Amino acid sequence: MRPCLIVKVGSTMPDLAARRGDYEDWIAAGLDGVTVDVCRVREGDALPSPDGLRAIVVTGSSALVTDREDWSERTGRWLVEALDQGTPMLAICYGHQLLADALGGTVGVNPRGREIGAVDVDLAPEATADPLFEGLPTRLRVSSSHRQSVLRLPDGARRLASNAATANQAYAIGERAWGVQFHPEWDHEVITAYLEARREILREEGLDPEALLSAVRPSTDGATILERFARLI
């Protein structure tokens, strides 16, 4: 069976990875029953031909799309090629931004500042007919951590979710590709670890880490999105 390729463009914090695994492990667990391969593009792995893949999932990263690193630009062009071939795709956080950028959208510093923690995301009316989101509650509780965001969607993209902090929380391209700014693979323990590790940075930026920590609670909404994608592919 053709694999789902996890395109690894970043890693979690080393101490968290030692305890819980890394992005690709959490994504693979969420795609339970789907055969996966991992391509570590930042480490020099070559991206395969998309026509041999069942689907693609792009991870998050602490890198910035606007830095235009060679590995990132190369990956963006490859995503467009895969999209043209009709390969199903789920692009997460950095991946969400990279796909939008590669298709002609605009990525930059989020005008409302860093968004981090357990956040509420509101589905757009169009999401009710979208195969990845249909039937879900109109408000989802998910985990998020980003400084940049998609400021302008590429032509033809359909906005599927937003909130007060980030206008483009999710979008669809065609019928088989999605970008989500949040992390569906992160559970409440993962986002708690991020908030605790960045406590001082958050204070310096005028955020309240204690309030953000107190807002964290278990939610299955992210896991449900990964399960939906697994079924769709």
What was the pLDDT predicted at 149?
A: 98
Question: Looking at this protein, which amino acid is placed at residue 169?
Answer: Q
Task: Just list the catalytic residues.
Answer: 93, 183, 185
What was the pLDDT predicted at 1?
A: 78
Mean pLDDT of 142-157: 98
Q: Which of 166, 162, 179, 155 is nearest to 123 (CA)?
A: 162
**Domain ranges across the chain:** 4-232
Report the mean per-residue pLDDT for the chain: 97
What was the pLDDT predicted at 228?
A: 97
What the block records as the tokens of 119 is 């956040």
Q: Is 72 exposed, middle or buried (0-12, 13-18, 19+ CB in 10 A)?
A: buried
Report whether pLDDT(14) > 90. Answer: yes
pTM: predicted TM-score of the whole model, two decimal places = 0.97
pLDDT tens digits along 159-197? 999 999 999 999 999 999 999 999 999 999 999 999 999
Q: What architecture is domain 4-232? A: 3-Layer(aba) Sandwich (3.40)
Contacts by residues 171-175 (CB-CB < 8 Å, ≥ 24 positions apart)? 171/96, 171/100, 172/130, 172/132, 173/83, 173/99, 173/103, 174/83, 174/86, 175/131
Helix, strand, coil percent content, the chain, rounded in steps of 5: 35, 25, 40
What was the pLDDT predicted at 125?
A: 97
